[in-house]
Structures are given as structure tokens and as C-alpha cells.
């Protein structure tokens, strides 16, 4: 599997929020709509990848602080039926990407 291809697919999904499913945890979803919009914008524009938050260089995780709260986002790659992990996350025909946005304490 190519980390470069997975990274490109993850970045395309995260920055457009199309081509997969996006979930907000209950805590994030309960935020006022203007704050929630800022959180989503931070995920879409996130670029602070480091060896600590991106050890495999796949751009599948990030964290940031907004309005005094720490947030995480995570992309998981599932098979087409969303029952198991994808056998090949670099192949979009075999993968359903899921982006979850959460408070750090909900992880």
C-alpha cells in the first residue's frame, strides 16, 4: 500500500468532505452552529501534520484547539460494507472513508 496515495485520498476527502461519510460526536454536534462551522473549517484546512500526529504520513489524524477546547479528527478506512478495515485503503473502489470529528476527551 502506498502511503502517498492514501495521503492524497485522505486529503481529498477531508478537504472536500465528499467521497465518504462524516460524523460529529454528540458533544461536537451540540455546539452552537457558528462554533461548529469553525470546527469543521479547521478540519478542512488542517495542515499541521507532524511525526507525532501523522507517524505513517497518511494524514488520517489531527488535533487543534478552538474556543478553549481541544478537538481531534480521525479518518478510518473501512471495507465497502463498513464491517471491517479496508484491505487496501489506497484503492477507493475497496474503501469507504469515515471522518469523525470529536472533542479530545471523547476519544
What pTM did the predictor assign?
Answer: 0.94
DSSP character for 28? H
Residue 107 pLDDT > 90, yes or no?
no
So where are the chain's domains?
3-106
Confidence of residue 95 (pLDDT cuts 50, 70, 90): very high
Confidence of residue 66 (pLDDT cuts 50, 70, 90): very high
Closest by Cα among 88, 25, 97, 26 to 60? 97
Gyration radius of the chain's alpha carbons: 14
Half-sphere exposure of 107 (CA within 13 A, CB side): 13
E strand spans, the chain: 20-24, 61-66, 69-78, 96-103
Question: Rounded to an integer, what distance in angstroms lies between the CA atom of residue 41 and that of residue 38?
Answer: 5
Task: Point out which residues pair with 75 in neighbouring strands.
Answer: 99
Query: 6-52, pLDDT tens digit by residue?
Result: 999 999 999 999 999 999 999 999 999 999 999 999 999 999 999 99
Closest by Cα among 69, 61, 59 to 28? 69
The residue-averaged pLDDT of 78-87 equals 94
Amino acid at each position: 500500500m502506498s502511503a502517498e496515495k492514501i495521503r492524497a485520498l485522505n486529503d481529498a476527502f477531508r478537504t472536500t468532505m465528499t467521497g465518504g461519510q462524516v460524523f460529529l460526536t454528540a458533544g461536537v454536534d451540540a455546539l452552537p452552529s457558528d462554533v461548529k462551522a469553525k470546527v469543521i473549517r479547521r478540519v478542512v484546512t488542517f495542515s499541521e501534520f507532524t511525526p507525532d500526529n501523522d507517524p505513517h504520513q497518511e494524514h488520517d489524524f489531527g488535533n487543534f484547539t478552538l474556543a478553549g477546547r481541544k478537538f481531534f479528527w480521525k479518518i478510518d478506512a473501512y471495507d465497502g460494507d463498513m464491517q471491517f478495515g479496508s484491505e487496501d485503503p489506497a484503492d477507493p473502489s475497496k474503501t469507504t472513508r469515515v471522518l469523525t470529528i470529536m472533542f479530545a476527551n471523547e476519544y
